[in-house]
Amino acid sequence: MMMNETGMMQSRPLDALNKARNKKVMVELKGGRMFTGSLNAFDIHINVVLDHAEEMENGAVKRKLGTVFLRGDTIIMISPA
C-alpha cells in the first residue's frame, strides 16, 4: 500500500492480485482465449498459476485443464470471475 497526495491509502496492481489469491478469476489472453480458475500464484512478470482451470469459449466451458501456468506477456486482463 502507498499513500497518495491526499494521504489516502492507494493499492498497487500487485496488491490487487494478492487480494485475488485463492479466489476465482477470469484471464483473457492475446488472441482472445479465455481461462477461469483459482489464482494460486503470480510473480512480478504477471506469470500466473491457476488451479481448477477451465478454458472458456462463448461463455461456456470448452475444456477442463486442472493446474495451468499462463505466461504474463500473453495476458491482456485478469478479472474477478
Q: Give the CATH number for residue 12.
A: 2.30.30.100
Residue 49 or 2, more confident: 49
Q: What is the pLDDT of residues 38-81, one digit of tens each?
A: 999 999 999 999 999 999 999 999 999 999 999 999 999 999 98
Cα–Cα nearest to 31, from 79, 81, 78, 75: 75
Q: How many domains does the chain have?
A: 1
Residue range(s) defining the domain that contains residue 53: 2-80
> For residue 33, what is its C-alpha cell?
482465449
Cα–Cα nearest to 16, from 79, 76, 81: 79
Evaluate whether 8 touches 65 at the Cβ level (below 8 Å): no
pLDDT classification of 2: cutoffs 50, 70, 90? low
